[in-house]
Structure 1
């Protein structure tokens, strides 16, 4: 396994026990997920035809979002200095797909490949770590939208996550300071 990581063929994403800084200090080294460095390689290993990405929701239903998660991770790794982690708890079971360390903040991230964008795990994460969560991020098929502390980023804009998160944080700060337009103006249709 380590050879694949060292050869930069896969990313090893550790489970984080808490959203603290630096995020690496909270790594559970016994729990990790493996992702391909490129979603195209994953497609090839899964023996999917090159046209498979054009199949839309049928493809994502069959693979339960594995390709989508890999796609988003591929975009996140290029934008942030610290490799993302993931968070989970067992009883009851909740899992946040990624934790991103951006400057001195930790952001929980959920990836949704289907029309249902309910994020029970993001909600639970906010309940548990309310004082540490400035913004929750969801990647989905929905449009770009900032709704309170939930930023929805369309999957096709995953490569702009850092910039969009910065804009959303600025908007939230302005609203909290009484200078905002209210309701996330400019973020939805």
Structure 2
């Protein structure tokens, strides 16, 4: 069991005097269930676990009354050993999207107050694309608005990856000090962090992929795990999508590597299928995003805060939520190329998706800025109260677009910039240079 950031939130939730049933949503295989189970074992005398994906027959327990006394009676009858002790019991509803009536019961559990309820869901963000049978079931089921606390969970981020590799807290403190004082990281630490970053690029944050890699260091075994997860995503597209959308959703998903291979990485529907148009695929793309598989990165009309207020919402790039799954969709041998630094022309896509992974798992919304073909900034973030452009360079680069913005503050409203690449901490004028492994420390302040 790896150390996860969701643990901090779970402990905070447990300390709330008037806590609501908790719903943790996130893509499949990101570690929701194992984290919730581990938390429950540490904090409750009794645990009642119900997996609606593996044991669909459990859904029938919620077809009658949703009164808590009735539910505890039928659940205890159906699950040997289930013991409901008031104020000492945690009920876990796993994959709750497969049992809408169980989600409807959260209102009654909140009003009753005797039992804590934690739910997980992999496709709770997907609306309007479920099978007709599930849509009909949900039409008669109201989501308990105001009676649940919803939180997002992501695959393990780079900082959690470092924890899994037993990097001590003192090292994190040293790195933050180096960033704050803008002084280089000593070579021994720098080289170790660079190697861990390259490994993270190919492994990503899926706990099972991390476990396989750390236990075996066998890239092929890890790749098998990753591709099985990708195949599960494709199965979900068939199971939960409407019949008329199934092929379109898959086409959008499988076009991602081609979208990022272009010099101009703006998402283009004609890359999905020749002659493809927005109206044909916009809902399919939304399905993949709502399932937590990809993130959009929106172009900005101007580099100025607030970023969301200046976003151009019909002009965007698409990145995979997890860098490891993205690399697994590429050719065999890509992992070796990355570890050896031989990525060729595709390295820009790899490092941009890495930055999208790091920023997205921090909970940041993603933005970029492209005015012309010769003026493009990979990412734009809020940092230390300013609008700050961020350029990703696999190794070295002139960062001409950064210079253009900084040379015209009256036009672009930019005073400082960050350049991430395969180098150490430093500064040249208004440009702060940091290694990629420090990107997760660019907290929004």
Query: What's the TM-score, normalizing by structure 1?
Result: 0.75
Deviations 1:23-80 (A, max 9, x none): 1111112210000001111111113444343121x11x2314111111112112233x
Counterpart CA distance in 2 for 1:28 and 1:150 is 26
Matched, 1:86 2:368: yes
Match for residue 288 of structure 2?
4
Q: Which residue of structure 1 aligns with residue 385 of structure 2? A: 104
Please point out which of 298, 318, 321 is paired with 1:34: 318
Given candidates 378, 386, 403, the residue that maps to 1:123 is 403
Provide the C-alpha distance between the structure 2 equivalents of 1:62 and 1:136, rounded to a whole number of angstroms: 25
Secondary structure of 2:359's partner? helix
| Larger strand proportion of the pair | 1
Aligned CA-pair RMSD: 2.1
For residues 107-132 of structure 1, what are the alpha-carbon distances to aligned partners after superposition, in whole Å with 9 as ceiling and x for unaligned? 001000133x2110011122343573
2:432 paired residue among 151, 157, 163: 151
Conservation of the 8 A alpha-carbon contact between 2:383 and 2:442: no
Question: Is residue 22 from structure 1 mapped to residue 302 from structure 2 by the alignment?
Answer: no
How far 1:103 moved relative to its partner?
5.7
> Contact 2:395–2:422 (CA<8 Å) still a contact in 1?
yes
- In the other structure, the counterpart of 2:351 is 68
Asked whether the 8 Å contact 2:406–2:416 carries over to 1, the reply is no
Please state if 1:113 is matched with 2:380: no
Structure richer in helix, relative to its length: 2
Deviations 1:1-39 (A, max 9, x none): 011110110010110011222111111122100000011
| 8 A Cα contact 1:82 1:101, kept in partner | no
Change in CA separation of 1:48 and 1:137 when aligned onto 2, cut-off 3 Å: farther
Checking the alignment, whether the CA contact within 8 Å between 2:406 and 2:430 is kept in structure 1 is no
Gaps of 5+ in 1: 167-189
Partner of 1:183: none
| Corresponding residue number in structure 1 for 2:338 | 53
Question: Which SS does the other structure have where 1:65 is aligned?
Answer: helix
TM-score by length of 2: 0.34
- The answer on 1:139 being equivalent to 2:420 is yes
Taking the aligned partners of 1:48 and 1:97, their CA distance within structure 2 comes to 27
> Which residue does the alignment assign to 1:176?
none
Structure showing greater Rg:
2
Q: Structure 2, unaligned stretches of length 5 or more?
A: 1-284
CA distance in structure 1 between the partners assigned to 2:388 and 2:405 by the alignment: 10
Number of equivalenced pairs: 159
Change in Cα spacing, 1:24 to 1:93, as seen in structure 2 (3 Å) is same
Offset of residue 141 of structure 1 = 1.1
